[in-house]
Amino acid sequence: SQKIEQNSEALNIQEGKTATLTCNYTNYSPAYLQWYRQDPGRGPVFLLLIRENEKEKRKERLKVTFDTTLKQSLFHITASQPADSATYLCALDNYGQNFVFGPGTRLSVLP
């Protein structure tokens, strides 16, 4: 059966450092991978989408990589700030078939 794993449940880093979150999957061949941010008491908010034939995608301080051989995506936040503290979810997409979210990683950026 399909399985998606994300980091440890929680990740603490110091302000200014680069946060790296992982998303690993098995028994799935996604054509796309999306990352969302979720703050407490709110719904997830879309951040980035990367296609299977793209190695890397950037948006401001965010960078996503997608390795279909390793079945892994890495999500980086450079120069992290306390305001980046949230839960980050990866989501796998195969043209709408079996669109599925990972369990999320709770990131805390400490001042």
Partner 1 sequence: GAGVSQSPSNKVTEKGKDVELRCDPISGHTALYWYRQSLGQGLEFLIYFQGNSAPDKSGLPSDRFSAERTGGSVSTLTIQRTQQEDSAVYLCASSFALAGPGSPTDTQYFGPGTRLTVL
Q: Of residues 12, 26, 46, 79, which one binds partner 1 by CB under 8 A? A: 46
- Full DSSP string of 27-56: S---SEEEEEEE-TTS--EEEEEEETT-SE
Q: How far is the CB of 47 from partner 1 (least distance, A)?
A: 10
Query: Quick count: other Cβ atoms within 10 Å of Cβ 50?
Result: 19
Return the structure tokens found at 105: 């990683």
Q: Of residues 43, 69, 83, 111, which one binds partner 1 by CB under 8 A? A: 43
Our finding on whether 89 is near partner 1 (CB under 8 A) is yes
Our finding on whether 31 is near partner 1 (CB under 8 A) is yes
